[in-house]
Amino acid sequence: IDNYSHCISMYRWFEKKGISHIGNILSRTFTESAPYTTGIPGTAYRIDTTNLNTMIDSLADINARMPMTRTIRGAYDAPNMWLEDSLSLAKIYSADACLYFGTPGCRNTWSNIKLMARDLETFGYPTFISYGDSFDSRVETWETSEMRLEEFYKIRGLL
């Protein structure tokens, strides 16, 4: 689920501005073959079919590495957590900026998004924090988000 999943205005805006949107961290899985898990011990899983117990353990590993569960279950800047994942993906994709789209109900991410943004900025990734809601446009309308995105991209010299 990405922000404004109830309409495609954001994606049309990206297309109109020539901005590539390559998905979000929630669409990532952490299998051994995923390029963004390379060199990060303990971050990936594989399904071990040796016996029933190893298969059950593999299912637990998969669930522990599901989007949101994996990245926000502890300190954002702990090893193998949200910050490392974001930096890894930003580097792989040569990102010009990072955009945060959450929902007001996600207290785990809202509790540290300013810290996260600060750290991403320190590593050279301008970071936009949306106050829109993925499911409810009454929180912040698309028109308001569009104005804020336009300002962000212009101020940062990205448009």
Using a pLDDT cut of 70, give the percent of the chain over it. 80
Task: Convert 141-156 to b/e letters by CB count within 10 Å (16 or more is b).
Answer: ebeebeebbeebbeee
pLDDT tier at 25 (50, 70, 90 boundaries)?
Answer: low
| pLDDT exceeds 90 at position 7 | no
Query: Which pLDDT score is estimated for 1?
Result: 43
Which residue did the predictor score with more confidence, 17 or 38? 17
Query: Which pLDDT score is estimated for 52?
Result: 96
In contact, 86 and 116? CB cutoff 8 Å: yes
Which residue did the predictor score with more confidence, 35 or 113? 113
| pLDDT exceeds 90 at position 149 | yes
**What average pLDDT does this structure show over 24-29?**
65
| pLDDT exceeds 50 at position 93 | yes
Query: Which pLDDT score is estimated for 3?
Result: 55
Task: Round the average pLDDT of the chain to a whole number and report it.
Answer: 82
Report how far Cα 60 is from the mean position of its chain's Cα atoms: 22
Measure the N-to-C terminal CA separation of the chain; round to a whole number of Å: 26
**What average pLDDT does this structure show over 135-154?**
88
